Structure 1
């Protein structure tokens, strides 16, 4: 894995237990210099080193006010089913540690709208909290609906209660009374031409929101999503296929049990990857010929339909050959 995007060294200035299994880390320049600016919805790549494992890179959304330049704040959910990143962050990163990160990137930006509807599931609150800060600062009309299992698993409750936009935030707990739970059908029943919807959280939560919006007739260009993890792919019916490298003419076989990225790496062809789940877009590669089998959550529907780029970390091919611009 290439680490060329990890251009910043930051110091962990503080860590705080925000809720059950959720920790925030405050990161700053070790010498007190301003950090690169970021916009609401941005994330950073973080290099995580876990004992007995290879160094890995994970993405974490920035959840502090986007006008702050003295720090980055990230929230990390401890996920026992993860591939090591969140557990290592919780167990091994301490105040005073130096870690390597990328400059902020934003694949989930706020777009101009008269009204904004923010829907957060669990740790999906992190980019949406940053958006709420920005929207409140610009006096934009918005609502934030925050869904969690229970109050004990709800991060940033004190911060939200102390904010100037507390009355715009609605909490919904799985273990709460029925009337307190989020009613998606009622909330999204009437598409509003001047409203944009932003949703972030687990795949099931996002899919529920998107299917409700689509059933109600919301225009797709008014719907914005940020996935934190890719879906578990069904690989039983996968076949082998070939990728051709345009620059050299070399043809490589991708077997059913390997990804395109793995085969490229084995043959000395370096493509930067990060999430390895088709979420972040780091490995996006141009396709010159052939039809990809898109399995990512990064590209939008019209970009999938164009078939001129794909994510080699998880996507495959519907055609027998893909010609890659490498």
Structure 2
């Protein structure tokens, strides 16, 4: 979805745990920032031009600053390493957002589950639920206590079971859902292994519709899924035309190229990052036509509306797709 890119200044850096660095971002002139709700994230354009997504983990009531946190991953794609090694207090960084595909929905009780750096969106959720005196509990796991950021902060908000793996082993998911009331909503952010475990343990107990995820990477895809095979019917990717309304051109998208690749040739200012449909950077408004979705972000309700799509993996069900780009 097209959004304005602003430039924010790094006001503070803080080492929150072994390997986790937080940044506090503010408007250079002290102006108020856009409002956001727990679960939201921003696109951060690093000095190298790399675009990465970071969940907001500060206080949604604070309109003066955004706080994010990054786990340094030596074998990652380079974004977190750049934040740790190159970004400094006083630097101006381009920011787009906030955007939210992980928002809290009404429920009688909430079970929040975080794995490692997945604590970032969960922390803001816990803060909101605590402020509203909502019914909630949380389960927070990590490799060791020293690597787990914001432990004291989230424990100060309510009932949190902190479980470092080197002390307690894997999270007791079955125990966590054993006594929760009917209608409980589960919000989980962490590595793919944790998400799959939550789906297999909590899904049967509470129903798949009660489980809400935020991913670090592309999900595990089952081979037999026609949705993952390239088109909705499992056939080879189709050829179609895309009209870029604001750019003012119509382009052909051949079967062997992605929609994003073609769009970038006409509008190189489109933000993108993962190219696997899980980060949301390339979300674009659909003005006409029927998009074919292959992302792991949009809910089925959002897909049915057909108002936006992730152009890195999406295609078109109609001969022509019209985008706000």
- Same fold? TM cut 0.5: yes
CA 232–225 in structure 1, closer or farther in 2 if over 3 Å, else same: closer
Secondary structure, aligned partner of 2:127:
helix
* Counterparts of residues 164-313 of structure 1 (less than 5 Å): 164-165=157-158, 168-178=159-169, 181-189=170-178, 192-220=181-209, 222-231=210-219, 239=236, 241-245=238-242, 250-255=251-256, 258-266=257-265, 268=266, 272-275=270-273, 276-281=275-280, 282-284=282-284, 286=286, 288=289, 292=292, 294-301=293-300, 303=302, 310-313=309-312
Aligned 8 A contact 1:284 1:309 in 2: yes
Structure 2 CA distance, aligned partners of 1:30 and 1:264?
Answer: 32
Aligned 8 A contact 2:142 2:165 in 1: yes
TM-score (norm 2): 0.81
Unpaired segments ≥5 residues, structure 2: 231-235
**1:61-98 per-position Cα deviation (integer Å, ceiling 9, x unaligned):** 11111111222110111123332221111111101111
* Counterparts of residues 51-70 of structure 1 (less than 5 Å): 55-70=49-64
Report deviation, 1:209.
0.8
CA 112–309 in structure 1, closer or farther in 2 if over 3 Å, else same: closer
Aligned 8 A contact 2:101 2:298 in 1: no
Report deviation, 1:240.
5.3
Q: 1:84 aligns with which of 78, 99, 105?
A: 78
The alignment status of 1:95 with 2:86, answered yes or no, reads no
| Count of matched residue positions in the alignment of Structure 1 and Structure 2 | 307
The alignment status of 1:105 with 2:102, answered yes or no, reads no
The alignment status of 1:324 with 2:321, answered yes or no, reads yes
Structure 2 CA distance, aligned partners of 1:30 and 1:243?
Answer: 44
Q: CA RMSD in A?
A: 3.1
* Counterparts of residues 104-123 of structure 1 (less than 5 Å): 104-123=98-117
TM-score (norm 1): 0.81
Structure 1 CA distance, aligned partners of 2:279 and 2:106?
Answer: 23
Query: Mean Cα displacement is larger for which, 142-151 or 296-305?
Result: 296-305
